[in-house]
Amino acid sequence: MKLRFGFGTGFQEVEVPEQNLIGELHANEVPVGLTGEAEVRRALENPIGSPRLKDIVHAGETVAIVTSDVTRPMPTKLVMPALLDELYAGGVRKEDITLVFALGSHRHQTDEERQRLAGERAWNEIRCVDSDPDDCIGYGTTSRGTPVDITRVVAQADRRICLGNIEYHYFAGYSGGAKAIMPGASTRAAIQANHSRMILPEAKAGALEDNPVRLDIEEAGAMVGIDFIVNVVLSEHKEILKAVAGDVTKAHREGCRFLDTLYRKELSAPADIVLVSQGGAPKDLNLYQTQKALDNAKHAVRDGGVIILIGSCKEGLGEKTFEEWMTTAPTAHSLIERIEREFRLGGHKAAAIAMVLERAEVDLVSELDDGFVRSIFLNPQPSAQAALDRAFAKLGPNATVLAMPYGGSTLPTVIK
């Protein structure tokens, strides 16, 4: 059977014997009603665990709406018209509303980027700013020792509304919910403290109630106070399939349940070989982004198996600290030891790759130089087909194969 995987703006084709292929993971078929902006309006009119937003806010109050920056696929511009209508219906004035792009540890954005994310209406009607990690108000520390320092414009608002898209996160369980506040509108020190728990076994994709990273995020959110959320679940082509609104925890959990029906894939056994990609550009521009697909693939491969990671990575590794850790480590395992000693953003992704290498070989099909790929503990391959042929030669002609053409979205779960 011929399979196709996105690779930059093109693709890689692989011929897999049908008797070896145990599955090709795509989104599940689920019933969908309204989509896009109409679905957002439906969610706002039917909040979960909360009164309607127009009944929460009052005239004269200031409102901070916290949303994602340019590194995330959150379609803020599709949510804002309905959200603004709801706020105005509650008596809030345009001049009292600020849309805050949660940068986390990312760079500041250009006016053009902010305008594109906000959409014309929000850009023209309300103030739109980036969060500022250098101008924060402290709320103390969580029970796990994370400092809760929140950007001033969010901290000083009378009402806080969090936006976000819900997808699997490789150590926070899921994105969305209170994650807009922590780490979104916080400081680098707070983010490092929270993310340092990624090495714990409970910190994994699809885990919520016992996940120390997610629990810490939600404790921080409770300390700050979040009045309302609007979260969306997107299709593989980034269309809004589901929106949830209301209570920061109850609405978020409902969104997570929908995500599971769409993207969680149950397997009866792990595969010997996993072929995985991010789906092509722009998600595979660098290894820092392509790693997301690798981390989901680790849940599907058997111990001692092979993961074939397909991603252009034409812009290299993609993040300065990540590159420093990957290129200076004497061994892959030393990256895990280093993250336990000194957690650093960027380094955490290097350690995540090393954790996968503890279980399986990783072949990389990319535009990176072969020698460089070997120096970062991965096996370079000229094509996906060549990589699969090598994997069969290593594991035998009866090796089972799983395909994940949108590996950053689909989460395989082996049912034991």
Do residues 179 and 272 share a domain?
A: no
Return d(Cα 121, Cα 364) in angstroms, integer. 43
Locate the DSSP E strands across 131-222: 136-141, 147-151, 159-165, 168-169, 173-174
Do residues 242 and 106 share a domain?
A: yes
Please state the φ and ψ torsions of residue 275, each to the nearest 5 degrees. Answer: -95, 125
Residues 216, 222, 224, 225: is their CA dihedral positive or negative? positive
Closest CA to 198 of 345, 400, 309, 333: 345
Contact partners, residue 355, CB within 8 Å, separation at least 6:
298, 336
Do residues 67 and 193 share a domain?
A: yes
The DSSP call for residue 169 is E
Do residues 275 and 199 share a domain?
A: no
* Domain end among 263, 295, 328: 263
Do residues 276 and 409 share a domain?
A: yes
User: How many CB atoms are closer than 10 A to CB 375?
Assistant: 12
Do residues 208 and 290 share a domain?
A: no
Return d(Cα 1, Cα 391) in angstroms, integer. 17
At residue 409, the pLDDT reads 85
Q: Which DSSP helix (H) or strand (E) runs through 233?
A: strand 228-234
Do residues 7 and 99 share a domain?
A: no
CATH number for the domain spanning 118: value is 3.40.50.11440
User: Which residues sit opposite 229 in a β-bridge?
Assistant: 162, 246
Do residues 254 and 272 share a domain?
A: no
* Domain end among 228, 263, 298: 263
Do residues 178 and 286 share a domain?
A: no
Contact partners, residue 337, CB within 8 Å, separation at least 6:
none
Do residues 114 and 141 share a domain?
A: yes
At residue 31, the pLDDT reads 87
State the pTM of this model: 0.87
Return d(Cα 224, Cα 159) in angstroms, integer. 10
Do residues 273 and 383 share a domain?
A: yes
Helix/strand/coil for 70: coil
The DSSP call for residue 28 is P
Q: What is the 3-state secondary structure (H, E, C) of 112-148?
A: HHHHHHHCHHHHHHCEEEECCCCCEEEEEECCCCCEE
* Domain end among 205, 231, 263: 263
- The boundaries of the domain holding residue 6 are 2-28+268-414
At residue 166, the pLDDT reads 96
Q: What is the mean pLDDT of each run of 10 residues along the chain (416 residues)?
A: 95 97 92 94 98 98 94 90 98 98 82 93 96 93 96 97 94 95 91 88 92 97 98 91 98 97 94 96 89 94 98 93 97 94 88 96 98 98 98 98 93 88
CATH number for the domain spanning 407: value is 3.90.226.30
Domain count, the chain: 2
Do residues 230 and 315 share a domain?
A: no
At residue 223, the pLDDT reads 97
Residue with token string 């320092």: 149
